[in-house]
Structure 1
């Protein structure tokens, strides 16, 4: 035997609840595409951030340990050219950097090159002008 289905009329409170729930669900789907709900991105510094003040402490004739003490480790120590150290710095602002208005540093525009002689002493320094003053 087949039972017949009896539908009860929906009450106004139940109808209103369904409309509100549908509206909230629709609003959350629409807002998921907004930038307010974007993913947090980290600031991405790469290399060693060096200022002109730090680089001007370097002098021709310093040894490699003194350079390491002042600037830290270089970004590039080429095994094919061991008498040259490259300090390169790039920065991509994430969420926090964008809020603070920090500009991106791209394409190794901050590039300091230090050349050493056969005795391991600084013979030449290039790129101090590419570094920020502060």
Structure 2
């Protein structure tokens, strides 16, 4: 079979207006479905994410100026950050991000929280300044 006879056997028929309209409708519906899938009410489940050690004002008020580092460790535990460039400063940081359940239900007790307590020591390793107690919860 030569190439000319193959070309002659191919026949092209024009599309009817109904089939063109049907293809446009189907394509539009598929496009809308794909576009709207990003607007879904369903979302990925997220867990509650606490990071650091939660400290209350009651715990922080046990601290006193003049305490040594071991006493601070006994009351609050290890700090989240001990800066090697500033060893006389200890940072206690706590961050809480509510997961899916707390955010969705609007539970009053479950909300995002952030705390930052900074303790400064003098050259002898004794507490000489405390910052951030106001950012801590009462209990």
Q: TM-score interval w.r.t. the shorter chain?
A: 0.5 to 0.7
User: Partners in 2 of 1:55 and 1:130 — Cα distance?
Assistant: 11
User: Partners in 2 of 1:124 and 1:97 — Cα distance?
Assistant: 36
Alignment correspondent of 2:112: 104
SS, match of residue 137 in structure 2: coil
Alignment correspondent of 2:15: none
TM-score w.r.t. length of structure 2? 0.63
SS, match of residue 66 in structure 1: helix
2:72 aligned with 1:67: yes
- Flag structure 1 segments of 5+ consecutive residues without an equivalent: 1-29
How many pairs align? Answer: 98
TM-score w.r.t. length of structure 1? 0.65
Alignment correspondent of 1:13: none
Q: 1:6-85 to 2 correspondence within 5 Å? A: 33-35=40-42, 38-85=43-90
- Shifted more, 68-77 versus 88-97: the winner is 88-97
User: Partners in 1 of 2:130 and 2:51 — Cα distance?
Assistant: 21
User: Partners in 2 of 1:133 and 1:44 — Cα distance?
Assistant: 21
RMSD: 1.8
**Aligned CA distance change for structure 1 residues 93 and 120 (closer, same or farther; 3 Å):** same
- Flag structure 2 segments of 5+ consecutive residues without an equivalent: 1-36
Alignment correspondent of 1:117: 122
SS, match of residue 73 in structure 1: coil
Alignment correspondent of 2:5: none
